[in-house]
Chain A
């Protein structure tokens, strides 16, 4: 179990490496230990990856950054738990996902982000939209997204 924790931390740190400093690494460790993923955690991962927050930003700053970027509604709190469908939607802004027809015409609505990630095997087929992940599971999902969509993006840039 300890090895798994270190592995997930290592992968997350590698993917977020470009924007991580010591404080960021502390937040990632906090997320890894969290029994449930919150909007603050999810927004921190996304905002860090997109370069929307500074090195010393708090979880509240991360939520505010995504609200300003119109990636989440204003009504959420950093301490609210995130359903899987909304976590997938927050993550989707970090990647250039080549979605299906409905994904494109709804401009990546939460429903079709969730369905697309299931189709692509990033989210297990039997997962429920309302499932609430632990911090470690949320980081694992981020790693899966990066391996699926990050690689595509990288290939395109080549």
Chain B
């Protein structure tokens, strides 16, 4: 790990004098207090992010970017127990380039950067690897291959991976993720059809290999109304199929108002399917125990409005949670979030979020949390 960090630092120092680079930083303070039936928890964190961007040629189409972060996290149950955690990470470090050809545009990146699958429910995290995208007038194809064994497990949670205790930086479980995607924009009536295949292969010999295939259709259905339909089938070690599907409709009645409604389904052990599990951690809803996206049906409605030239943004989200871990189907509870963001200046933002979960039948996972946040970029 030390060798890797030293190599990265050397590369940055060697490259820096060759080009004029830009830099910046962000300081974030987030304090969250959660009240449950028999407990309280204060979760307070201070994070510092520092980034740089350096063009590597005069045209500016080939560049080197990086971002590092330090986070201090304090947990306290307000009853004598507390825990401090220090995390250091590099969440972006990549060479990237955009090249125009007679057939279309090629974009390529290599290094550590954020990747996401079409559904957002399978592979959405920072990863080390290489990505190439070829965009033509009627088709876009892309490919990604990477390695997760050098990531910091304190900032990236891989489902089914091992978590190592320790301060600052502990390496994540090694997998080789591979994705292949194709999109056909404006296929018919401005509709976009996308397909994606992805595989995650354990690199340390453990039998934990996963594969997914996604079909995604999206586009406008009326003026100011857009839809997304997506279904994803996956398998773990080729032992049965699991499914994640969602439908959502977004409506923009005015340029500053956004309304979205939809429903998600993540399979449990029913209809001959296995319980759905993606690769990256993703919460389906937020009760006292943040629940992963598996064995549930979650209809939801959200809305937001921006006011005063985007200085103030108000939002609300409501989810009704039904769980179906097997053939049973149970109404679990209601999650409600409201938030307000105030951009004091273009580089200073404050936000407050009130989040609540209320069980329909029992109160063991009920919670009420208040989050205060301030972020300052410089």
Contact = CB atoms under 8 A, between A and B. Distances in A.
Interface of A: 99-104, 115-116, 119-120, 126-131
Give the interface centre of B60, B345, B348 by most chain A CB atoms within 10 Å. Answer: B345
Contacts of A129: 20, 22
B347 interface: yes
B344 A101 contact: yes
Contact of A128 (B22, B24, B345, B378): B22
A101 B347 CA distance: 6
Given A101-B376, A102-B378, A115-B24, A128 B344 contact: no
B346 A100 contact: yes
A115 B345 CA distance: 13
B278 to A, nearest CB: 31
Interface in B344-378: 344-348, 376, 378
A84 to B, nearest CB: 10
Contacts of A102: 347, 378
A101 B348 contact: yes
6 contacts: A99-B345, A101-B347, A115-B24, A127-B60, A128-B20, A128-B22
A141 to B, nearest CB: 16
A126 B54 CA distance: 10
A96 B176 CA distance: 53
Contacts of A128: 20, 22, 55, 60
Contacts of A116: 346
A100 B60 contact: no
Dominant secondary structure at the B interface: strand
Given A128-B55, A129-B20, A131-B60, 20 more contacts: A99-B345, A99-B346, A100-B345, A100-B347, A101-B344, A101-B345, A101-B376, A102-B347, A102-B378, A103-B345, A103-B347, A104-B345, A115-B24, A116-B346, A119-B346, A119-B347, A126-B60, A128-B20, A129-B22, A130-B20
Contacts of A115: 24, 347
A115 B377 CA distance: 10
A106 B55 CA distance: 26
Nearest to B60: A128
Interface residues of B, number: 12
Interface of B: 20, 22, 24, 55, 60, 344-348, 376, 378
A127 B20 CA distance: 12
Contacts of B55: 128
A126 B55 CA distance: 10
A102 B346 CA distance: 9
Contacts of B346: 99-100, 116, 119-120
A99 B344 CA distance: 11
A99 B55 CA distance: 26
A103 B378 CA distance: 9
B74 to A, nearest CB: 26
A118 to B, nearest CB: 10
Give the interface centre of A99, A101, A131 by most chain B CB atoms within 10 Å. Answer: A101
Contacts of A104: 345
A74 B285 CA distance: 61
Contacts of B376: 101
A129 B378 CA distance: 16
A139 B60 CA distance: 21
Contacts of B345: 99-101, 103-104
Nearest to A83: B20
Contacts of A131: 60
A104 B378 CA distance: 12
Contacts of A101: 344-345, 347-348, 376
A58 to B, nearest CB: 31
A89 to B, nearest CB: 15
Nearest to B344: A101
A44 B344 CA distance: 35
In the complex, the 5 A-B pairs of residues with the closest C-beta atoms, listed nearest first: A100-B347, A130-B20, A100-B346, A100-B345, A101-B345
Contacts of B348: 100-101
Contacts of A103: 345, 347
A51 B55 CA distance: 37
Contacts of A99: 345-346
Contacts of A100: 345-348
Give the interface centre of A104, A116, A126, A127 by most chain B CB atoms within 10 Å. Answer: A126
B53 to A, nearest CB: 8
A2 to B, nearest CB: 24
Nearest to B98: A126
